[in-house]
Chain A
């Protein structure tokens, strides 16, 4: 059974860099069509897709946040890392790690991690 689990800080200060790690199991990010991404949801607000990285190293980013985001993968460790610079209180949200497969476009996310709440505050 596919599982994904987010890890990282629950509290960061404004201007700091957030680094989140997604550890997954039961699939490989080297399999054709597979992708792993990050979606966030501010409290009481809408979902936002931040970034997705695919088996072929293709990376897709939310345009409005592109300059602050970086997504990388370590296939051997079954991990994906999201880095977000210059954090602000408006970035307070639950951050989900998600799986997509099948090479569909747009992708849809059939497996989700439990999510991790990241609070930005001094």
Chain B
């Protein structure tokens, strides 16, 4: 079955830039989405359609697509950004939704 691959963890210091990748062979054909999940909370979408930011999401969150890899970039990371981040897309035939394994962002 189709999978999206994320690094298990990323660590950055406050004020630095965090980049979280998500790889999958269908990503050139299917949009990707990113969710932030803090402990004990439901996920919250922070990027949709590869690079669009929902209203209310800080401008420091951005997304990009370079073929089989999509990237979530958090510029000027703040302590409150420490969370798990999940990418989501679909298989190449567009039949079902798939999530990545999640990446734990640690703010040092």
Contacts and interface: CB of A to CB of B under 8 A. Distances in A.
Contacts of A48: 99
B14 interface: no
Contacts of A64: 1
Contacts of B95: 60, 63
Contacts, number: 62
Contact of B86 (A46, A105, A113, A114): A46
Of listed B43, B86, B97, residue having the most chain A CB within 10 A: B97
Contacts of B44: 112
Contacts of B49: 104
Given A46-B86, A106-B94, A108-B88, A113 B42 contact: yes
A47 B45 contact: no
Interface residues of B, number: 25
Chain A interface SS verdict (over half)? loop
A115 B42 CA distance: 7
A114 B48 CA distance: 21
Interface of A: 46-49, 52, 60-64, 96, 104-110, 112-115
Report the 4 A-B pairs with minimum CB-CB distance, sorted nearest first.
A106-B90, A112-B42, A49-B97, A108-B33
Given A46-B100, A106-B97, A108-B45, 5 more contacts: A46-B86, A96-B43, A106-B31, A110-B45, A113-B42
Interface of B: 1, 30-31, 33, 35, 42-45, 48-49, 54, 86, 88-90, 94-102
22 contacts: A46-B86, A46-B100, A47-B99, A49-B96, A49-B99, A52-B97, A61-B96, A62-B97, A64-B1, A104-B48, A105-B94, A106-B30, A106-B31, A106-B33, A106-B88, A106-B90, A108-B45, A109-B35, A109-B43, A110-B45, A112-B44, A114-B42
